[in-house]
Amino acid sequence: FAGYISQVLKNYTDHACDGEYVSLRCPHRTTISIQSSFYGRIVPSHQLCPSRYPHSYATLIKEDVACSVGTSLQKMLDECQDRRSCQFLVNSRLFGMDPCPGTGKYLLVWYKCRPNEYKSKVACEDDKLRLSCKKSMVIAIYSAIFGRTQGGSLECPYQNLGMPMIECQSPTALQLMIKRCHGKRSCSIYASTYEFGDPCYPGIQKHLNVIYTCDNTPLLLPVDETRPPALSSSSMEPVGVSTEMALLSNILAAYAFITENPERAALYFVSGVCIGLVLTLLALVLRVSCRTD
């Protein structure tokens, strides 16, 4: 579960030069969410994607390092948005008119992996936001915004008090929501500047927008250490039961690792077999030499 969440929360970056394939991929139960994209060139070729033309030809044409295409984001949304994986060949024809002929270009993509099923909740400033999941399920925070977005919020309409309509967001909102709610069945937090700080000008109304999902992880529910242990028949189980549960958890974790990384698992298996054969051979040689002596 921790590995799954770390992959979901991670911001991915990928790039490909002209004539190369770009490949985006997300883990199971998630899909690609394109955040931003760039196609063109803003750094010299000796820093990224060296020119594929002969050196003599490249010296005749001055390299354009202020070259970009405005359709790259829309193209990435068309090709990869809401898919688990996508792959295509990068070239200037894919993005329409070539903005700088003769200059080698590259594609930069920033994306996240969004859960297939997620919920969204909004709380206006100074209101309490409550998140909860069903029994045997825990909260996994995907994104959190505290402040004022350019489009505003239908739940918290912006009241014009003479302040400019600008976008302002707290940089610590996501980390705070993960710390407060991640891995719990339910949690609550006030959408206040006391919790998140004030990222906007004084007087600007803010709101808290949280996107989360509920994941079914009965073996990894958090333990409330502040609550005294209840004396029941389940607490009197022998130590062997908890040992069996730990063994089952390890088996499930190993199975998940093998299914997600088959090549690495095969490499580990072959390496283990080879090491075992070498150790067996050394033991046999040592035994034969001892008998001879």
* Mean predicted confidence (pLDDT) in 26-43: 85
* Mean predicted confidence (pLDDT) in 243-267: 60
Q: Where in the chain is the domain with CATH 2.60.120.740?
A: 1-115, 119-215
Task: Tell me the C-alpha distance between 51 and 58, whole Å.
Answer: 7
Q: Who's near 48: CB < 8 A, 6+ residues apart?
A: 15, 17, 106
Spell 149-183 as b/e; 16+ CB within 10 A means b. Answer: eeeebeebebeeeeeeeeeebbeebbebbbebbbb
pLDDT score, position 189: 92
DSSP state at residue 229: P
- Inter-residue contact 148 to 201 (CB < 8 Å): no
- Inter-residue contact 116 to 140 (CB < 8 Å): no
**Whether residue 232 has pLDDT greater than 60:** no
Compute the mean pLDDT over every residue in the chain, rounded to the nearest whole number.
76
Task: Tell me the C-alpha distance between 180 and 208, whole Å.
Answer: 14
pLDDT score, position 54: 54
Task: Tell me the C-alpha distance between 59 and 80, whole Å.
Answer: 37
Residue 59, token pair as written in the block? 């010296």
pLDDT score, position 109: 92
> What architecture does CATH give domain 1-115?
Sandwich (2.60)
pLDDT score, position 60: 45
Q: Per CATH, is 119-215 categorized as 3.40.50.300?
A: no
pLDDT score, position 130: 92
Q: Which of 24-38, 201-215, 258-272 has the lowest mean pLDDT?
A: 258-272
Task: Tell me the C-alpha distance between 269 and 197, whole Å.
Answer: 51
Convert the pLDDT of each residue in 45-99 to its tens digit.
778 888 765 554 444 456 778 888 888 889 899 989 888 899 989 988 888 888 8
Convert the pLDDT of each residue in 105-153 to its tens digit.
899 998 888 777 778 888 988 899 999 888 878 888 888 889 887 666 6
Q: Indicate the pLDDT class of residue 225, thresholds 50, 70 and 90.
A: very low
pLDDT score, position 240: 42
- Inter-residue contact 129 to 119 (CB < 8 Å): no
Phi-psi region of 15 (alpha: psi -120 to 50; beta: other; left: phi over 0): beta
